[in-house]
Amino acid sequence: MDVQVKSCNGITLMPINTRLLSERKVFIEGDIDRKSACDFIKQIMLLSREDEISHIDVCINSPGGEIMAGLLMYDFIQSCKTPIRMFCTGTAYSMAAILFACGNHGRYIFPNSEIMLHEPLLGNGIKGNASSIRSISDSLLESRNKINNIISKHTGKSVEEIEKASSYDHYFSPEESIEFGLADEIATFDMLMEG
């Protein structure tokens, strides 16, 4: 989708994501995978290089996705010196919930949005012999422990509380998200648009 932009050369068309990026708005939409992680990292690097002081707003509307891709994004969010504010603009499920919860300068959830935590899942089509299945199981448990520790760090809840909450598909309303420590406050359009 393109939008009209006024410039000294008149009116030009610009992709809406480019325009929003120029206003320091980054989007995590759809499945989290290697490509979306790389795109996200490039955008954060670009905005951070341009201005380390002004905040970056990340709008999340995602069902989650790949653990390793999400953890790469998490590492960049945590190590970035630029303030990053998170906005849940629909759903932040699974890995997207972890990314939302790690916002270092505010975690805002819109009134009709939802967060969901659960244990890491196996990918489709997993095959192998007993030894390889055991190795996959060990890796999955290691990922679960790593993710539970991350969520614990950002919510203030104990790892045991996180394990209990994520032992099934646990959906949180905005109010429940705030109470559990996943979000800081209910978002408004004005919050998202402030520069």
Indicate the residue type of 45.
M
User: What are the E-state strand segments in 24-112?
Assistant: 25-29, 56-62, 84-93, 107-109
Q: Which residue in 83, 26, 25 sits closest to 54, CA to CA? A: 83
Q: Which residues are catalytic?
A: 94, 118
pLDDT digits (tens, 9 = 90+) for 29-81: 999 999 999 999 999 999 999 999 999 999 999 999 999 999 999 999 999 99
Tokens of 117: 């935590």
Cβ atoms < 10 Å from Cβ of 143: 15
In terms of CATH architecture, what is 2-193?
A: Alpha-Beta Complex (3.90)
**Model pTM score:** 0.90
pLDDT digits (tens, 9 = 90+) for 148-178: 999 999 999 999 999 999 999 999 999 999 9
3-class DSSP assignment, residue 156 = coil
Q: Write down the domain spans for the chain.
A: 2-193
DSSP 8-state assignment for residue 127 = -
